[in-house]
Amino acid sequence: MANAHAMGRSHLDFESSASQTRIMAHIYIRMDFGTDEEKAQQARHKLDVWKQAFRLDKRLLYKLDRPESGTNETDSKVEPAEKPAARASGKTAGGAKGKSAGKSSGAAAEKSGSAANGKVSLLVRLYFSSHEKLSEQRWLDRIPSEEPFKTASPKVVHQSDPEFESTDKQFEALE
């Protein structure tokens, strides 16, 4: 055995030119909701429910894309600014009625602001390992066939597709 090892022919000591672990392939699903912010929020909520219920923490990621308004950070920064005003109006109006009215007016203002901005699209990334091909295929079949998604004309982008690289860059650029 020492002779085989000295000659570099040991089965345990093969040099590998590439890593033996495969990079997990990911697939994107692009959905365009047009100016329908309500449908986009329904879709986002449904993805959140699935993510929690099926423990899809890093396997299912999504980002909302509003090309004319920038990133989601602008929406999340606007929301906290409205909450103190809603709390102040809730205290002056008295009770929970004022608070709920403040929340609904803040939500209405957010929807009208987003609708005025224009198009909303949702970019979903499925990121399953090679031994989870069946789960990956089930989610690829399920997501585009469900109600809020099928009206958004979902388009599946695989790694072999020519627009995959641009879609990947777009997903990484979104907040």
Asked if residue 29 has pLDDT above 90, the reply is: yes
Average pLDDT over residues 48-65: 95
Residues 78 and 44 in one domain: no
63 and 77 within one domain: no
> What distance in Å separates the CA atoms of residue 123 and residue 171, rounded to the nearest whole number?
7
Say whether both 80 and 151 belong to one domain.
no
Q: Which domain holds residue 47?
A: 26-68+118-173
Give domain status of residue 87, yes or no: yes
Q: Answer yes or no: is 14 within a domain.
A: no
- Which pTM value belongs to this model? 0.62
Same domain for 124 and 169? yes
Whether 101 is in a domain gets the answer yes
- Residue 81 placed within a domain: yes
Angle of the 95-117 helix axis to the 72-93 helix axis, nearest 10:
150
Helices then strands, counting H and E runs in the chain, come out as 7, 4
**Span 111-169, pLDDT tens digits:** 444 445 589 999 999 999 989 999 999 999 999 999 999 999 999 999 999 999 999 99
CB 136 within 8 A of CB 41: no
Based on the domain organization, do 123 and 45 belong to the same domain? yes
Instruction: Give a yes or no: residue 10 inside a domain.
Output: no
> Can you read off the two tokens belonging to residue 99?
């608070």
Percent of the chain with pLDDT over 90: 53
Q: What domain count does the chain have?
A: 2
Q: Is residue 59 part of a domain?
A: yes
Q: What pLDDT does residue 95 have? A: 44
Do 82 and 166 share a domain, yes or no? no
The answer to whether position 105 is within a domain reads: yes
Same domain, 62 and 128: yes
